[in-house]
Each structure stands twice: as C-alpha cells, then as structure tokens.
Chains A and B, each alone.
Chain A
Amino acid sequence: MRQSMLIKRGRLGPALLAVTLIVGTAACGGDSGSGDGAIVGLITKTDTNPFFVKMKEGAQQAANSAGVKLQSFAGKQDGDNEAQVQAIESLISAGAKGFLITPNDSKAIVPSIDKARQQGMLVIALDTPTDPANAADATFATDNYQAGKLVGQWAKAKFEKDGKQAKIALLDLNANQVSVDVKRDQGFLDGFGIPVGDPNKIGDENDPRISGHDVTDGAEDGGRTAMENLLQKDPSINLVYTINEPAAAGAYQALKAAGKDKDVTIVSIDGGCPGVDNVKAGVIGATSMQFPLKMASLGIDAISAFAKDGTKPQVTAGKDFVDTGATLITDQPQTGVEAKDSAWGKENCWG
C-alpha cells in the first residue's frame, strides 16, 4: 500500500528511473577508450584503494598507447568474489581478448578464469596470484616475500650498526593468514635473521626478540590501537614491522603519544606517496616500494601482444611469475642493502 501511494502521490518513480539511466549510461561510457582495437579487461579488488586507483590509471595509459579498448571492473570491497565473477562473464560476452585480474578470492575465482581461458582469452593475475597459480596464464606481481626481506635486511643492518638488541612488534593485516600478509611478515623475519617456522603461517615463531603480533586491517585506526596494546604488553619494543604504510602511520601516532617515537624504528611496505612523505619526515625508517602502474601497463602490453600474434608472456628467471620489482626507500642507507632515497621515492610513488 505504501508503495502504490508513493507512485500516486509523486513523480519520484519516473525521476528515479531517469537518474538511474543517466548515471548508468555515464558509468558505462566512462571506461571505454578511443581506439578501435581489441577489448581488454581490468578487474581490481576495489575501486577505492589508492593502489588499485593507480593500477587502473596505468592500465588506461597503456591501453591508449597500445590502441586497445579497456573495460574496468572492481569488487565492492575486499573479498568480494561475486562482482569479479560477473565482471569475467561480462568480458566473455563482450568478446574480450583477455584481462588482468587482482583476485579477491584466489581459489574461488578459478572456475570463472577456466571458462574465460576455454574461450581463448589470455588471463593475467596482477599483484595477487590465483590458487593454484597456474590457473592464470601468468602472474605479474611484486615479490612480497622479497619486499618484506628488504626491510628486514635494512633493519638488521641498522640495529647491528647501532649495537642495539631488537624487540620487535609485528603489525599484520587480519586473522585470515592472507598470502600477501604472510609473505611480507615472513620475508621481514627472514631478512632480519629470525628463523621462520612454517613459512605459510604467521606467528608460530618463538624467538625472544619478537614481542608480539597484532592485526590492523591495513588502516590507520587499526595500526594505532594495535601498537598501543603491544606497547602495553612490552614497553621495550624498539622495532615495528607494519603490513602497509597506513598501519605504520597509525602505529607512529601510538608511539608519539607514548613518547617513544624517537627510540622506535618503523619499517613498512607499499611505496604510496603519503608513505614516502612519512619516510622523508622520519616517521617510517624504510619502506619497500611496489609498482602498480608498471604492473598494469606491462599486463596490458602482454595482452595486446597476445591479441596481435598469440605470444604469451615469459616469467622472470628463477621465479614462477613476472616480478615487477620492489625497491627499498630510505633516507638512512645501510651498507650492503641497496636503496633509493625519499626524493627518488617521491618521483616514483603511487596514490
């Protein structure tokens, strides 16, 4: 009854319909490039994370110069597999030559990818591998273990030089042991010289140098609360590893409030521009930079090459994926650890 009254009373129904149509058309029109070439897809985890915003930018640039049409899709939030499945279905019916995908659920997406490949499409996993990794034709990604290892090695050199005994807090992502989270965490410990137990599991080490772990959701608020609680647990913490730079920014606020910001070293991973600013300001000691723009543009180039003559991308020597690199950014270089300074970082950062 309420609905029928609404329709009788106002012109809301038609107006809403009109708005929906306009918005819908605008959204669909927005992504198509100008070239007449093949259709290439990009499916990211979300539309809002600056990392994926940058990735989309890189893909668009590469698509423009390669003369292919880019169609972009994204999940609604981290973990949204459904939207990515629908995106693949849309690309299949659009007759795309291939697509780049950052899987929200590495396992659950595989059947849809299989379908696309049976249609002769080239599928490249970007940033996050599928599970199993060979479900996609190739993976273009940061070596997250290596990224963690770089900051671990830097921290080790710094602590050895200062002659300090480390007490380490690890600020991870969440309780789900996500592969990116695990690799960065374990890579850091390995780089620092702490034997990791099961390399696929966070938190099974018994080294006395580890004061504790907590989770952050990869955001500032989680980073601050986690750091506060760990400092209560062990006030002697002097080295903090963080899953990403927002978590590092939050951790810094906690350290500052406790008056420990001068005595504690924070290391992180990402290479976002706010994070590089924080390296310059001395908030973060060192961070590993990844290159989403490069990942996306290399990926688009690979699919355009495939569309032209059917060539498939070759993996980096010694690895089962195409390593798009990780570069250590710090203003306190340590001997034996290759690094660039924050000025270089500022020129190459994303977000």
Chain B
Amino acid sequence: MTTTATKEPSPQEFDVRRNDSLGLRLQHLLHGNPTLGPLAVLIVAIIAFSIANQRFFSAANLSLVLAQVTVIAVLALGQTLIILTAGIDLSVGAVAVFSSILMASFATKIGVPGLLALILGLICGTAMGALNGFLVTRIKLPPFIVTLGTLSIFFSLNAVVSNSETIRGSDMPGIMTWTGTTIPIGGFRLTYGSIIMLLLFAFFFYALGSTAWGKHVYATGDDIESARLAGIRTNRVLFSVYTVAGLLYAVGAWILIGRLASASPNVGVDYNLDSITAVVLGGTSLFGGRGGVLGTLIGALIVGVFRNGLQLAGVEVVWQGFAIGLLVLVAVSLDQWIRKVKT
C-alpha cells in the first residue's frame, strides 16, 4: 500500500481550494492507512479515560481489557476475513457457542481424552465454517442468507446437544480451561488465551499481506468478476475463507471455556453484532476488499476500552451502548468519505 500523504501533492490536487487541503490530505492518509483512524480513536479514548479515572491506566486494568476482548477479537478475526470478501457471517456466535458445548461434551459426556476432545471440537467448528463455505460457493446463495440459516440451525443443535445445561469447568480435563490461566508479566496478567489471540492476529496479518492467498482474498472481495477473469479461483478462495473462519471460531470457543471455567449454551447472544462492530470500527469496509486484521484488533479494543472506561467513570449502562453505536456510525461515515478519495 502506498502512502500518498507523505509525498508532495500531485498536480491535480492543486486544483482543489486551499481550505480543503487539510481534509483532503487526511482523506488520502486514511485511504492509504485504514488503521490510522481507529488507532487515533483508541489512543484518544485511552487518554480521555485515564484523565477521567486514575485507575484506568494501570497495568492491571489494561490487561483486564485485553482479557475481556480476547474472545470477541478471535471471532472478529474470522469475521474480518469474510467481510474482506464482501461477505458477512451471522453464524459466528452460534458456531462458537456450539463448538464450546461440543468440546466440553466430548470430554465429559463421552469421556474422550482432553486433547482429543479439543481437536474434535476444533474439527467440528471448521466443518461448520466449511458448510457455510459450501453453501456460498456451490449452491451460490448470498452469505447473508446462508449464515442466517446456519445461525438458526447451529443454535438449535446447540440447545439439543447441551439439553440447555451448563457444563462446569471442574468436570472437564485441564486442557479445556488452560486458556484462562494467567501469567504475570510485571503488573500485567496475560492469559494464554490472549497470547493465542495475539499470535493468530500476527499470523493473519502476515498471511493477508504477504502471501498469494492474502492477495487473492482482497482481489476477490474488491471485484469478484475481475478476480475470476484474472485467473484467481475465487470459489476456492471463498471456501477457504469460510472454513478458516470456522476454525477460528472454534479456537474462540476454547478460549471462551477458559475464561468462564464452564461451557454454557446460553452465552454469546451478542457475539454476531459485537464481531461485526469490531470489524467496522477497525476500518474494514463492509463492501469488501479494503481493511485488515490489525484494524479489527484495534476495533475490538475500542469497544473494550469504552465499556471498561465508561463503567469506571460511572456512566450508566444505557449510555455505554449509545456511545458504541455512535462510534459505529462515525466509522462507517468515515469509510464512505475515504472511499470517495480523489487519486
């Protein structure tokens, strides 16, 4: 990606009236670096909340925010891949919660060894993602419809398999809740779940930016017809994206079990919208082809920082949702504005 803003303005830009130039330069800067906007919001929010309450900017509290956003960040990572292909996944929460119930059930009800139960759970999540991918690429249904359907199916199966009962962590093999273990680093208390999450983000940052697969994902999302004509096997790309997303949701499920020390069929009602919120706040375009996973991590952190910070500042719960909603609208408006950039 090129950053046009650091260069001298091109001749065309001299045509623009002078008092527009600051906005225009900002527009170009954000066009080239879609994570800059969200990063700025995050930093401003952290500074503001630190001033509002001195407890906010402490190692303990900041590591808490990281732990709080870990599950949603992993789910939003899968969501990002799908949104980059101009799709959307409404089945995130269902896949994650169902995977967590399956993992825990394999270990406790069937008595499979912990590691095997975990792997089986990851395979199940991947298969659920692959089913979405199959329906999108083979039956040619729009992603919205596909995942609307599978959302309902997976939530129903979840209720059937779990019998609406919570499985307690103390009944599970240790590996299931291992992700919730913390390691103190100075004042920080990092969980293994958060470390897995950060490694996944690093991996997909690399995979999207520096591999042929990553370039194909962007190309498919930007203009699927041109990508196909350029020789990209777009169906294969799409299928891989949905399948990988399923695997990521299942990893999220594992981290969720660690965080709650239980597998409950009734959690995760808000995960669909929360994951989309993180992606949108992170500057990834809902229209596909623009954005990235780094932004999503920042987007998830913005939500976590706002929720934590507003609570510390004593703001009523109703207004926390209001603030997040407002941020989303601003983020999408910004995205629209950036898309209109004159090059």
Whether A249 and B159, one on each chain, are in contact in the complex, defined by CB atoms closer than 8 angstroms, is no
Report the nearest B residue to A256, measured CB to CB: B261
Complex CA gap A351/B67 in Å reads 30
Whether B266 and A219, one on each chain, are in contact in the complex, defined by CB atoms closer than 8 angstroms, is yes
Q: Which residues of A contact B312 (CB under 8 A)?
A: 229, 232-233
Complex CA gap A218/B267 in Å reads 9
Whether B259 and A221, one on each chain, are in contact in the complex, defined by CB atoms closer than 8 angstroms, is yes
Q: Which residues of B contact A2 (CB under 8 A)?
A: 140
Q: Does B231 contact A (CB under 8 A)?
A: no
Whether A232 and B266, one on each chain, are in contact in the complex, defined by CB atoms closer than 8 angstroms, is no
Tell me the A203-253 residues at the B interface (CB within 8 Å): 203, 212-215, 217-222, 224-225, 228-230, 232-233, 246, 249-250, 253
The interface size of chain B toward A, counting residues with CB under 8 Å, comes to 42
Q: Mark B259-299, 1 if CB is under 8 A from A, else 0.
A: 11110111111100000000000000000000000000000
Q: Does B333 contact A (CB under 8 A)?
A: no
Whether B307 and A225, one on each chain, are in contact in the complex, defined by CB atoms closer than 8 angstroms, is yes
Report the nearest A residue to B69, measured CB to CB: A225
Q: Does B238 contact A (CB under 8 A)?
A: no
Whether A214 and B311, one on each chain, are in contact in the complex, defined by CB atoms closer than 8 angstroms, is yes
Number of contact residues on A: which range applies?
35 or more
Complex CA gap A225/B303 in Å reads 13
Known contacts A175-B321, A225-B307, A351-B165, A253 near B140 by CB under 8 Å: no
Known contacts A2-B140, A49-B164, A351-B164, A225 near B68 by CB under 8 Å: yes
Q: Does B137 contact A (CB under 8 A)?
A: no
Q: Mark A170-202, 1 if CB is under 8 A from B, else 0.
A: 000011000000000000000000000000000
Report the nearest A residue to B158, measured CB to CB: A48
* Nearest chain A CB to B210 CB, angstrom units: 35
Whether B256 and A221, one on each chain, are in contact in the complex, defined by CB atoms closer than 8 angstroms, is yes
* Nearest chain B CB to A218 CB, angstrom units: 8
Q: Mark A26-65, 1 if CB is under 8 A from B, else 0.
A: 0000000000000000000001111001000000000000
Q: Which residues of B contact A217 (CB under 8 A)?
A: 269-270
Whether B164 and A50, one on each chain, are in contact in the complex, defined by CB atoms closer than 8 angstroms, is yes
Report the nearest B residue to A233, measured CB to CB: B312
* Nearest chain B CB to A77 CB, angstrom units: 8
Whether B308 and A229, one on each chain, are in contact in the complex, defined by CB atoms closer than 8 angstroms, is yes
Report the nearest A residue to B319, measured CB to CB: A175
The 12 listed contacts between A and B (C-beta, < 8 Å) are: A48-B159, A175-B318, A212-B311, A219-B264, A221-B260, A221-B267, A222-B267, A224-B260, A228-B64, A229-B308, A232-B308, A246-B166
Q: Which residues of A contact B (CB under 8 A)?
A: 2, 6, 47-50, 53, 77, 174-175, 203, 212-215, 217-222, 224-225, 228-230, 232-233, 246, 249-250, 253, 257, 274, 277, 351
